[in-house]
């Protein structure tokens, strides 16, 4: 298989739903290998832990979650699909056991979103859903964005015991116990400041810490956890420069967050300011603002850091390009290296 393959979700109305690219480390660039025409407007994708399958969402056929087998050359062969039961599938993932597909819909036909779990067979086929949850908690103070529940991500904790769902509409992060039958049982919910709008989370690679990036108030929250029931919010930091004046017509909204593999740095994307915010993490894992780097495009919705920690690739959705940066190992700062044109890149996943 071609090394350093990157699968990219294209969320616009362009010619493809998934781009297959190669990260050319020697020249610090993305090389497009194939643009998949099987689906259009992919909103998210994620590989199976075994690297043999890729799960993706599409707006085709009434909104679907689709399973692909990854061929020897990295190409994709469709296995099957199931209804996604929403109109905006914001995130899809596979738990560490490889047996459950986890999906959230940000919204369904203009109403609140939902959470779904599907069984996944050994041959990559998705079964009929085993779980469907709609959250009916009190919503946040922003009437335009927090009218109802809007779950935006679903991932499992590093030990695979809990499914974590940040909900932009309710200003909470929900923690669900995931059982062998693919059922979710609410264990706890973590509160964020009113109007925060939690969107994505990331875990520290060696410390029991979770970082939550908040879309609506442009902040980063840090939580420590000792066990399933003992979670404590340690800090909330702004992702914006101190003296930055936001234009009323285009206020900043945060999108994605990732921790460097060495555990020393954390990165978040600012849409509007169009930057990657960089934090240094101290020995306790607490963030300290370090720098900002312009993303060389507009509206950086998602980005990835490769497993070696050498490169950061960010997708600028509104300017239809992806930018590649080198990461300075000592300082954590970003050095712009190249850019490539593609339709509305909104998620990047690299095979381990």
- CATH code for position 316: 2.130.10.10
CA torsion 338→342→345→351, rounded to 10°?
-70
CA distance 110 to 106: 10
Q: Residue 240 falls within a domain, yes or no?
A: yes
Give, as one character, the DSSP assignment of residue 151: B
pLDDT at residue 38 in the model = 86
Question: Does position 298 have pLDDT exceeding 90, yes or no?
Answer: yes
Q: How many CB atoms lie within 10 A of CB 74?
A: 20
Instruction: Please report whether residue 114 resides in a domain.
Output: yes
Question: Does the residue 45 lie in any domain?
Answer: no
What's the confidence (pLDDT) of residue 208? 97
Q: What is the pLDDT of residues 111-136, one digit of tens each?
A: 999 999 999 999 999 999 999 999 99
Going from the C-alpha of 78 to that of each of 97, 126, 159, 268, the distances in angstroms are 22, 11, 30, 33
- Report yes or no: 42 and 55 within 8 Å, Cβ to Cβ: no
Taking each continuous run of H as one helix and of E as one strand, the counts in the chain are 0, 28
Q: How many domains does the chain have?
A: 1
Q: What is the mean pLDDT of residues 82-92?
A: 96
Domain membership of residue 75 (yes or no) is no
Q: Which residues contact 80 (CB under 8 A, 6 or more apart)?
A: 66, 67, 125, 126
Q: What is the pLDDT, as a whole number, of residue 116?
A: 98
Element of type H or E holding 20: strand 18-24
- Report which listed range, 15-24, 36-45, 269-278, is most confident: 269-278
Q: Can you tell me whether residue 62 is helix, strand or coil?
A: helix
Q: Is 16 domain-assigned?
A: no
Kindly report the number of other CB atoms within 10 A of residue 285's CB atom.
21
Residue 43, domain member (yes or no) = no
Torsion of CA 292, 266, 97, 225, to 10 degrees: -140
Angstrom distance (rounded) from CA 334 to CA 201: 21
pLDDT in tens, 61-83: 899 999 999 999 999 999 999 99
Q: Which domain holds residue 281?
A: 81-350
For the cut 80, the answer to whether the pLDDT of residue 15 exceeds it is: no
Q: Is residue 30 part of a domain?
A: no
Residue with tokens 């692909």: 68
Give the SS3 label for residue 98: coil
Nearest to 313 by CA among 329, 297, 331: 297
DSSP state of 2: -
pLDDT digits (tens, 9 = 90+) for 147-170: 999 999 999 999 999 999 999 999
Average pLDDT, the chain: 96
Instruction: State both tokens at 242.
Output: 């101190």
Residue 73 lies in a domain: no
């Amino acid at each position: 298989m071609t090394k350093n393959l990157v699968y990219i979700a294209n969320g616009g109305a362009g010619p493809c739903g998934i781009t297959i690219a190669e990260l050319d480390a020697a020249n610090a660039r993305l090389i497009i290998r194939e643009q998949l025409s099987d689906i259009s407007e992919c909103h998210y994708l994620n590989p199976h832990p075994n690297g043999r399958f890729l799960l993706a969402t599409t707006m085709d056929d009434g909104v679907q979650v689709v399973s692909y087998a990854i061929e020897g050359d990295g190409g994709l062969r469709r296995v099957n699909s199931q209804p996604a039961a929403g109109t905006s599938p914001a995130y899809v993932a596979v738990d560490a056991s490889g047996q459950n597909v986890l999906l959230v819909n940000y919204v369904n036909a203009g109403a609140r979103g939902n959470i779904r779990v599907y069984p996944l067979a050994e041959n990559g086929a998705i079964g009929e859903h085993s779980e469907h949850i709609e959250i009916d908690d009190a919503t946040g103070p922003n009437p335009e964005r927090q009218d109802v529940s809007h779950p935006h991500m679903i991932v499992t904790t590093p030990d695979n015991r809990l499914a974590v769902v940040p909900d932009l509409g309710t200003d909470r992060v929900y923690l669900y116990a995931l059982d062998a039958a693919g059922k979710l049982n609410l264990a706890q919910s973590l509160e964020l400041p009113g109007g925060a709008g939690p969107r994505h989370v990331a875990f520290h690679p060696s410390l029991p810490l979770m970082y939550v990036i908040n879309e609506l108030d442009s902040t980063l929250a840090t939580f420590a956890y000792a066990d399933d029931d003992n979670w404590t919010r340690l800090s909330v930091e702004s992702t914006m420069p101190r003296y930055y004046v936001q234009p009323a017509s285009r206020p900043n909204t945060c999108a994605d967050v990732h921790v460097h593999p060495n555990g020393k740095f954390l990165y978040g994307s600012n849409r509007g300011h169009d930057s990657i915010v960089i934090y240094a993490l101290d020995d306790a894992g607490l963030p300290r603002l370090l720098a900002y780097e312009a993303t060389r495009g507009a509206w950086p919705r998602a980005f990835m850091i490769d497993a070696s920690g050498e490169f950061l690739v960010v997708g600028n959705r509104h300017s239809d390009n992806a930018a590649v940066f080198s990461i300075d190992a000592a300082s954590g700062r970003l050095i712009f290296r190249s850019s490539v044109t593609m339709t509305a890149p909104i998620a990047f996943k690299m095979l381990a």
